[in-house]
Amino acid sequence: MKKQNKIFTAIIGLLFLASSCKKDLNLAPTNDITADVAYSTPEGYKSGIAKVYGSMANTGNQGPGSGDLGGIDAGTSDFLRLYWMVQQLPTDEAACAWVGDDGIPGLDYLNWSSSNIMLLGVYARSIYQVTLVNEFLRESTDAKLASRGISGAEATNIKDYANEARFLRAFQYWVLMDLFGNPPFVTEESKVGKESPKQISRADLFKYVESELLAIEANLKDTNEYGRVSKGAAWALLARLYLNAQVYTGTPKFTEAANYAEKVINSGKYSLHTSYANLFKADNHLNNPEVIFSINYDGVKTQNYGGTTYLINAAVNGDMKPENFGIPRGGWGGNRSRENLPAVFGNYKTTADKRAMFFGDNPVINDMSVFKEGLAVTKFTNLTSTGATAESIGGTFCSTDFPLFRLAEMHLIYAEAVLRGGTGSAATAVNYVNLLRQRAYGNTSGNVSALTVDDILNERARELYWEGFRRTDLIRYAKFVEGTYLWPYKGGVINGKAVEPYRTLYPLPASDVIANPNLTQNTGY
């Protein structure tokens, strides 16, 4: 059985802050136990932060089939499953054959509406996680701790939890800013239930996320338990935030992006894993110096139908022998690549680049509903690095952790930021990219001597494909809605076409706009 960190394991037996998703962001998680009871001891705070972390990897408190969110199937309501779908399916990297499922065609064809259930799901999940953090922080003030007789090392631990929670809230507000632009906004200072949440502009939310990360970076631990937030995670999110600053605010911050990426690289806390493939296997929590922050999954302790269970099962069908991917009773035949993805590797069958992990002989999709059209992606598996099948309930649930931040991304952020005019060294940028290519090729045969900005986009596709980056990357490169770059079924036609410019932002869910008079819908919806 996979070993989890102590905080993450606490989620299994100590969850108590159950709530359903409601239309009003300005709420507190509720049930029969009051906050004064739940947070009366240090153990209560440990349970509270466990729920905050655990909500990243679980859909509810009762295992598979239970959900914190109302109005969406519990199996679909996992954060990573939803986030992955909205970041990958509308792009050149992935397509889903489940065209009969509500919400999927809108993502596949870039023609979603404000009632799309997947958009509602990711919006609600991020808001739910913000709500959990706000409640935890309300109960973690000096006054609250003193009133409960908590002091000394126990109070210090809770302050550490609070800083980690603030990072998780900043991350979720970054998600909302990136996807929806102008979401509702509350913090622990807001008066719960007194009024509907106000809307925040994208530029102001950028400033808030930036300020939160800058405020906590010095107080986060240099190193932490695996799966918990450390200082490197704050630097990594700042680097990602600054790389996209021009999209979010109209003002580029490429020097800042390069600086924070290099903070991570030069921290001495992380190094590139020697094996690219092993980054995405069931024992990737062991001896993995590359991952900065991950969402942890366990096929025995914390099952749900999202996360890497979804990524692995949806990318395999019965003809592929699911047992060869560590899911002997799985394989759902849903997601595969569009032809643009294998094309970035040249000839995907003969390339020496070991990152090209595909199954099949037909890269072309003529019928979106046919899983065998398009290549299956075998990057994520539920096998260990020795080839063993990870222990799993039912032969479908997976133990592969998902890296939200890893060092390779920082190499690519530095290179792109410098090439876009940020302060830094072009030679260093080339070196950082070549280190990734040397791992991929096993030698220096794939090294490059110079780079362009477009080279970095292609390298990001080769290094980071199916890790939830592509929509954001294509928007930054002005290739997402434009007609200058196409892929099959972009815009709903087989050869692809330009789509409406407003689709660089998703709509706020119609149900929330109706319920909250303070919200104005995004343009075009």
CB hemisphere CA count around 294 (13 angstroms): 30
Is the model's pLDDT at 22 over the cut of 50?
Answer: no
CB 131 within 8 A of CB 25: yes
Q: What is the pLDDT of residue 12?
A: 30
> How far is the C-alpha of 149 from the C-alpha of 258, rounded, in Å?
45
Is the model's pLDDT at 29 over the cut of 90?
Answer: no
**pTM for the model:** 0.94
Mean pLDDT, range 357-370, rounded to an integer: 97
Is the model's pLDDT at 84 over the cut of 60?
Answer: yes
How many domains does the structure of the chain reveal?
Answer: 1
Is the model's pLDDT at 497 over the cut of 70?
Answer: yes
> Quick one: DSSP state of residue 382?
S
333 domain-assigned: no
CATH number, domain of 189, equals 1.25.40.390
160-174, 192-206, 303-317, 350-364: which range is least confident on average? Answer: 192-206
Tens digits of residue pLDDT in 87-107: 999 999 999 999 999 999 999
> How far is the C-alpha of 162 from the C-alpha of 147, rounded, in Å?
17
Tell me which residue range forms the domain holding 19.
Answer: 6-297+402-515
390 domain-assigned: no
Residue 294's SS3 state is strand
Which token pair is 15?
């969850």
Q: At what angle do helices 254-265 and 231-243 cross, to 10 degrees?
A: 150
pLDDT over 70 percentage in the chain? 93
Q: What is the pLDDT of residue 71?
A: 78
Alpha helices of 386-425 — where are they, by DSSP H?
A: 407-419
Tens digits of residue pLDDT in 386-439: 999 998 888 999 999 999 999 999 999 999 999 999 999 999 999 999 999 999
Instruction: Provide CB contacts within 8 A for 91, sequence distance 6+.
Output: 470, 471, 474, 480, 487
342 domain-assigned: no
Q: What is the pLDDT of residue 30?
A: 40
229 domain-assigned: yes
Mean pLDDT, range 135-153, rounded to an integer: 97
Is the model's pLDDT at 443 over the cut of 50?
Answer: yes
Is the model's pLDDT at 147 over the cut of 70?
Answer: yes
Tens digits of residue pLDDT in 241-282: 999 999 999 999 999 999 999 999 999 999 999 999 999 999
359 domain-assigned: no
Tens digits of residue pLDDT in 58-72: 887 666 666 778 778
Contacts by 267-270, CB closer than 8 A, 24 or more apart: 267/222, 267/231, 267/232, 267/235, 269/222, 269/223, 269/230, 269/232, 270/232, 270/407
User: How buried is 96 (Cβ within 10 angstroms: 0-12 exposed, 13-18 middle, 19+ buried)?
Assistant: buried
175 domain-assigned: yes
pLDDT over 90 percentage in the chain? 86
Q: What is the pLDDT of residue 70?
A: 78
378 domain-assigned: no
Is the model's pLDDT at 24 over the cut of 80?
Answer: no
Mean pLDDT, range 113-125, rounded to an integer: 97
304 domain-assigned: no
Contacts by 114-118, CB closer than 8 A, 24 or more apart: 114/507, 114/508, 114/509, 114/510, 114/513, 114/521, 114/525, 115/509, 115/510, 115/511, 116/507, 117/71, 117/72, 117/76, 118/76, 118/82, 118/85, 118/86
> Quick one: DSSP state of residue 448?
-
Give the mean pLDDT of the chain.
92
Is the model's pLDDT at 36 over the cut of 90?
Answer: no
Q: What is the pLDDT of residue 18?
A: 33
